[in-house]
């Protein structure tokens, strides 16, 4: 009888040890890249996708629409003018494209719905809460970050007055590096700034009221700060950046929050990766899986950013997940499909 009990307990212990090992084997070990579009003149920093369609806009005004079921690629121009698009949104099957510089142009498909002229105008990112309400952010023009909002499906946009926003610090701006300066979960919105000061602007009510949170991110130069932010849920978020002129610098360029952005903790201090322009949570990873990309490669974390594994030296600017193992990435010279392998 004692022998049977011992055998039973040993079997339970064996199975209990095997379960976490099986969980570990589910983590990504490699990534395979498949080039979808390749052109030496291509420069894409904004891509958006839904179940069936991917839309990418380029720095010379081209728009690429890809049917993900048939891989059919359609290329057209948003405007007859050559515009540098670095922000985009895909709402149902409607594409929004936002250019940088002055004047800044925002198109709903090919219809101009917003124009802003100012010596300092420079828009960085665009996102929607739902089919009717959306937000774009840009550098300060009158003492606060530029924020424009639509409540009618993108037909009209209004600029938020500075009296309703935190004042910008001297040298505080944002980066149009990957169209991921904005993160949205339900009604919650986070905006990442950078430059001489790098903070998080937060709204709990879809851009009606705002507050600012300090961060431990590297800052102090025009080229430093947070370049990308993502939230898995209303509490857990991650931010990445650094100094794109010193991409090997790994100091205070990765941080996470567990309280909705109120406080941030630096992770993987002085460890890889260095500068990265985009970070995204892996879907269905319970907030543990992260992929970060930049012009120096692709990196992956399976423990919410505490440690990282370098998966590829292929450089990209921006990335979006289609599901929990397939993503699309774009950058200088190409747009590619990324298949993560376990």
Report pLDDT digits (tens) over 228-256.
999 999 999 999 999 999 999 999 999 99
Query: Distance between CA 242 and CA 281 in Å, rounded?
Result: 19
What would the pLDDT profile of 292-334 be if each residue is shown by its tens digit?
A: 999 999 999 999 999 999 999 999 999 999 999 999 999 999 9
Q: Reading across the β-sheet that carries 318-321, which strands appear in turn?
A: 73-77, 62-67, 53-58, 30-49, 332-341, 326-330, 318-321
φ, ψ for residue 14 (rounded to 5)?
-60, -45
| Residue 3 belongs to some domain of the structure | no
In a domain, 145, yes or no: yes
In a domain, 303, yes or no: yes
Per the structure, the complete domain to which residue 72 belongs is given by 29-341
Q: Identify whether 2 is part of a domain.
A: no
Q: How many domains does the chain have?
A: 1
Give the model confidence (pLDDT) of 159-200 as tens digits: 999 999 999 999 999 999 999 999 999 999 999 999 999 999
Residue 14 resides in a domain = no
Give the model's confidence band at 2: pLDDT under 50 very low, under 70 low, under 90 confident, else very high. Answer: very low
Show the tokens assigned to 137: 């952010």
* pLDDT exceeds cutoff 60 at 16: no
For residue 168, the domain's CATH number is 2.130.10.10
d(CA 55, CA 68): 10
pLDDT score of 26 more than 80: no
Q: What is the mean pLDDT of residues 78-102?
A: 96
Residue 1 falls inside a structural domain = no
| Summary mean pLDDT of the chain | 93
Residue 305 lies in a domain: yes
Q: What is the pTM of this model?
A: 0.92
- The per-residue pLDDT for 342 is 87
* 16, part of any domain: no
The arithmetic mean of pLDDT across residues 211-225, rounded, is 98
């Amino acid at each position: 009888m004692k022998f049977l009990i011992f055998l039973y307990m040993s079997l339970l212990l064996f199975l209990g040890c095997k379960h976490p090992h099986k969980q570990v084997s589910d983590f990504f070990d490699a990534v395979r890249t498949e080039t979808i579009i390749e052109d030496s003149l291509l420069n894409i920093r904004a891509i958006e996708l839904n179940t069936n369609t991917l839309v990418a806009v380029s720095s010379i005004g081209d728009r690429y629409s890809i049917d993900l079921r048939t891989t059919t690629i359609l290329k057209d121009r948003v405007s007859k003018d050559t515009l540098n698009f670095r922000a985009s949104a895909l709402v149902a099957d409607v594409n929004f494209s936002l250019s940088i510089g002055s004047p800044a142009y925002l198109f709903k498909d090919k219809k101009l719905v917003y124009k802003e002229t100012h010596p300092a105008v420079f828009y960085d990112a665009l996102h929607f809460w739902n089919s009717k309400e959306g937000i774009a952010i840009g550098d300060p023009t009158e003492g606060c970050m530029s924020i424009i909002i639509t409540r009618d499906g993108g037909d009209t946009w209004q600029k938020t007055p500075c009296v309703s926003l935190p004042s910008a610090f001297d040298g505080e701006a944002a980066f149009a590096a990957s169209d991921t300066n904005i993160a949205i979960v339900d009604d919650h919105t986070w905006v990442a700034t950078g430059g001489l000061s790098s903070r998080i602007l937060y709204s709990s009510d879809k851009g009606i009221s705002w507050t600012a949170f300090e961060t431990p991110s590297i800052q102090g130069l025009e080229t430093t700060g947070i370049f990308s932010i993502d939230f898995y849920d209303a509490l857990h978020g991650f931010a990445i950046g650094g100094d794109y002129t010193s991409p090997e610098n790994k100091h205070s360029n990765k941080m996470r929050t567990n309280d909705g952005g109120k406080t941030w903790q630096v992770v993987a201090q002085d460890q890889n990766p260095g500068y990265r322009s985009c970070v995204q949570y892996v879907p269905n990873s319970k907030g543990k899986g992260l992929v970060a990309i930049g012009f120096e490669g692709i990196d992956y974390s399976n423990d919410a950013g505490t440690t990282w594994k370098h998966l590829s030296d292929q450089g990209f600017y921006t990335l979006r997940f289609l599901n929990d193992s397939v993503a699309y990435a774009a950058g200088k010279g190409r747009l590619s499909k990324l298949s993560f392998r376990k």
